[in-house]
């Protein structure tokens, strides 16, 4: 495998990991930033745009768009697996062994946290597709317009 393909795999891995992490942690926790409540899933999400911009620049529009679709499929896969976990019954013996002395309602923590995550991810997947595919198109629009110059403009103008 040559270095160019290794770089692509690293960028694709970074993109997919950031995307799935953004969906997985999504709205599991809200933090306050300058008085505004922000979901923790916002932390890894900007990395997805950086990765698609780099892949667009180095490997072209076709590979970047393909990766966006792979990300969508991986998000669906993550959603299916998480949903299976959501609907599985709790093993009482296991729960009682690890939660001795804790609040009995905590057995529903997974359901509470991931129930919202499942709905949030499902709702955000359409927005993800529109945003990422638009980012790739705009990146190449700016690249054609600037004749391959002004990378800063392409990165900022597309995102």
pLDDT-derived band at 24, boundaries 50, 70, 90: confident
What are the tens digits of pLDDT across the range 59-77?
999 999 999 999 999 988 9
For residues 24-43, give the mean pLDDT: 86
Residue 97's SS3 state is: helix
Domain that holds residue 64: 3-158
User: Sign of the C-alpha dihedral, residues 14, 15, 20, 21?
Assistant: positive
Question: Across the chain, what does the average pLDDT equal?
Answer: 83
- Count of structural domains, the chain: 1
Output the pTM of the full model. 0.77
What are the tens digits of pLDDT across the range 145-156?
888 887 777 777
């Amino acid at each position: 495998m040559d270095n160019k393909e290794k770089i692509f795999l690293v960028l694709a891995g970074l993109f997919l990991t950031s995307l799935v992490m953004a969906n997985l942690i999504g709205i599991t926790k809200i933090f306050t930033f300058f008085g505004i409540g922000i979901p923790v899933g916002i932390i890894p999400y900007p990395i997805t745009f950086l990765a698609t911009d780099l892949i667009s620049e180095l490997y072209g529009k076709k590979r970047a768009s393909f990766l966006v679709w792979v990300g969508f499929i991986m998000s669906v896969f993550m959603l299916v697996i998480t949903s299976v976990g959501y609907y599985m019954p709790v093993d009482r013996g296991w729960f009682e062994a690890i939660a001795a002395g804790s609040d009995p309602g905590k057995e529903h923590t997974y359901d509470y946290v991931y129930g919202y995550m499942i709905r949030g991810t499902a709702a955000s997947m359409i927005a993800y597709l529109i945003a990422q595919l638009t980012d790739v198109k705009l990146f190449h629009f700016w690249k054609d317009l600037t004749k391959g110059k002004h990378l800063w403009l392409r990165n900022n103008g597309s995102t």
